[in-house]
Structure 1
């Protein structure tokens, strides 16, 4: 069964080598989704700096996920378990947010290896960190609304 959601086909918000805000260069495309396009990037003037994540969303009235993410992340700035915002802006017909590039999700880890190979200690540590993160969101006045099992 085909999804009715449109996937970014054209125009693409960025390609490898593109410069964003005169400060960041796109290294690779990480994910392409229905409403979101995610790349890795690095600062042009600091090649030893950590990789960054760049998320793009088409600037349309119904697309509010990226702006909402920006508002939430600004509210929990410098809190444990959350990416630091580097920049938020507009490029062509897309909004973008640049943040620290975090490590793999539990889902990515589970798909990378046999799920049985994740130790109980690793799973409990993840569960504890997930609960801490949700608690931080709640204390800032937000409800996640889409917590799912792997």
Structure 2
């Protein structure tokens, strides 16, 4: 039986508090549900298999606790265990930026919308970076809009499972000497990520820059990355990423 088949079903109740209503998204080892708690409030529940004892959701919930009540960060409610899974309950949000940009042609945003999103996204990264965290997975699918009338124009950042604390010594940032593993999304990863260099705050900003260019121009110079990966043409991906000035020159 596959792991996804063992996840809760619609109508199941988690910890005598959260009733599953529907599935929002699912992957091999994790699922996100829309649920309702005892206070009759709609929430989101992210659940991850913990069979190997290394659930990323542990990291994500700890970071959301620290960032709780911050602007552009979903409100954190609780964290716990359910059968062989770890789960996190947090504020239910609306669609992500991929859903929004693909809603209708021409599959790109106006300059006004790009700037509105960009300003809020920079504010969000500033909040995270001021807490000495690096997100390391900045991509359109991790930015969502609010789910209420009062928050529908507000953007929120999720996906903190790859987030990391900055290395500091005596209050100063130190640069690790060991080679890092690749982190992030191939399409939006910075040159440092492709070169397996430990990521910093600037890499979050570079990934955001790529998103803004794509939202305005509809495409990045390396947007056929999936086909390149299929053919294992990593050198071509890297060469195009090195030419990221091509993208920045197209910004109005």
Normalised by the shorter chain, which TM-score bucket? 0.7 to 0.9
Q: Do structure 1's residue 42 and structure 2's residue 49 form an aligned pair? A: no
Structure 1 distance, partners of 2:106, 2:45, is 29
With a CA cutoff of 8 Å and minimum separation of 6, indicate the structure with the bigger relative contact order: 1
Secondary structure at the counterpart of residue 22 of structure 1: coil
Secondary structure at the counterpart of residue 104 of structure 1: coil
Moved over 6 A (4+): none
- Taking a change above 3 Å as real, the CA distance of residues 40 and 72 of structure 1, as seen in their structure-2 partners, is same
Q: Do structure 1's residue 139 and structure 2's residue 130 form an aligned pair? A: yes
Structure 1 distance, partners of 2:51, 2:129, is 28
Greater fraction of residues in strand = 1
Conservation of the 8 A alpha-carbon contact between 1:8 and 1:37: no
Measured on the aligned residues, the alpha-carbon RMSD in Å equals: 1.9
Q: TM-score, normalised by structure 2?
A: 0.51
Q: Do structure 1's residue 24 and structure 2's residue 15 form an aligned pair? A: no
Q: Number of residues paired by the alignment? A: 140
Give the one of 38, 50, 58 matched to 2:49.
Answer: 58
Secondary structure at the counterpart of residue 80 of structure 2: strand
Structure 1 distance, partners of 2:81, 2:125, is 29
Partner of 2:103: 112
Structure 1 distance, partners of 2:119, 2:106, is 18
Conservation of the 8 A alpha-carbon contact between 2:4 and 2:27: no
Conservation of the 8 A alpha-carbon contact between 1:29 and 1:38: yes
Partner of 1:9: 4
Structure 2 distance, partners of 1:115, 1:106, is 15
Secondary structure at the counterpart of residue 9 of structure 1: helix
